[in-house]
Structure 1
Amino acid sequence: MSPRRLVLLAGCALLTRPLAAAPSEDGAEEALAADPDYAAASAALKAQDFARALPLLEAALKRFPDSAQLHNDLGYSHRKLGQLPPAFAHYKRALALDPRHRGAHEYIGEAYLMVGDVASAEQHLEALRAICVLGCEELQELQAAIAAHRRRAAARP
């Protein structure tokens, strides 16, 4: 077999091999979901018991300090309790860990609306537009929140 043919066959073999999977955090997400504090916090969040969820989330954070989802949930709980400085800190940490975290973009945008910073909320809306090319619930929710905020602002005397 000629060297040229060997190179061609080797190239074809490489092209037909499955590519290596990108590193996954599925294991970390599964471990977080199985964590008893996080599971109890998730139930409290579903029941809208944010005061109960907060210490459970903080306990889970000791074991999962680099979980974007956990930081997002902490931000959400703080925001719902009216504690905006820690909410912003957790949302920003979630986005530092995962810049494409749709929930964190939506929720930090809603937090910015709470302090009247529409421009920052719109920046996160634009980020969601880039992430959710075909649309997503988080994009629709933040769009609706910005529109509602504008309607309320226009109705004020």
Structure 2
Amino acid sequence: MFTIPTLARSLLVAVALACASAIAPPAHAIGAEEPPPNMPAEKTDLSPVRALIKQGDYKGAIARLNKMAEADSKNADIYNLLGYSHRKSGNLQAAFANYKTALDLNPKHLGAHEYIGEAYLMNKQPEQAEKHLATLAALCGKGCEEYQDLDKAIKAYRSKNRAAR
């Protein structure tokens, strides 16, 4: 059974905690570099760069993405698109570096796994591409677009190399 002083003390503690939580900043805002996983990060608008890529202006896309990476160095999407633009420009070394940065930032980045797999095919390393295909299968299943696109690219690569023998 509660006595009046115990009940009053409990109420005072509850009110004090409620007031403190109402005026204190959330714990994730104090010294945190990234929001917690359940809170969406601010997104960099990549639509202008995607438009350049769609037009085949990889040089322009690379220039804009490099500036974006300076301002938002923890955005895996930026590095994935940098890798894609470099790959499409024929610079596999830069493509691999950027895809690896994207995957370091986000090991579950589906697009980066697909695109680095395609870069490995261009570099005549189908076994490396298949490792990323297996990763995609584990991350999103065989029905996701990234898995299906890389699987199709690997099959085309294998078919082309069988025919060349």
Shorter-chain TM-score category? 0.7 to 0.9
Measure, in 1, the Cα distance between the counterparts of 2:127 and 2:89: 23
Letter in 2 for 1:89: A
Measure, in 2, the Cα distance between the counterparts of 1:113 and 1:84: 11
Measure, in 1, the Cα distance between the counterparts of 2:163 and 2:142: 33
**Structure 1 runs (4+) greater than 2 angstroms displaced:** 22-28
Residues 134 and 122 (structure 1 numbering): CA distance in 2 closer, same or farther, change over 3 Å? closer
Aligned to 1:108: 116
Q: TM-score, normalised by structure 2?
A: 0.75
Contact 1:40 1:56 in 2 (8 A): no
Letter in 1 for 2:144: C
Aligned to 1:27: 41
Contact 1:91 1:104 in 2 (8 A): yes
Larger Rg: 2
Aligned to 2:147: 139
1:148 and 2:156 aligned: yes
Unmatched 5+ residue regions in structure 1?
2-21
Aligned to 1:124: 132
Aligned to 2:71: 63
State the Cα deviation string for residues 37-56 of structure 1 (Å, max 9, x = none): x4432210122221211101
Query: What is the CA RMSD across the aligned residues, in angstroms?
Result: 1.8
Question: How many residues get paired?
Answer: 132
Letter in 1 for 2:53: L
1:48 to 56, 65, 80: 56
Correspondence 1:72-91 to 2 at 5 A: 72-91=80-99
Measure, in 2, the Cα distance between the counterparts of 1:152 and 1:132: 27
Unmatched 5+ residue regions in structure 2?
2-35
Residues 93 and 25 (structure 1 numbering): CA distance in 2 closer, same or farther, change over 3 Å? farther
Residues 63 and 129 (structure 1 numbering): CA distance in 2 closer, same or farther, change over 3 Å? same
Letter in 2 for 1:119: E
State the Cα deviation string for residues 41-100 of structure 1 (Å, max 9, x = none): 221012222121110111111101110000000000000000001100000110111111
Offset of residue 134 of structure 1: 5.9
Contact 2:141 2:147 in 1 (8 A): no
Q: TM-score, normalised by structure 1?
A: 0.78
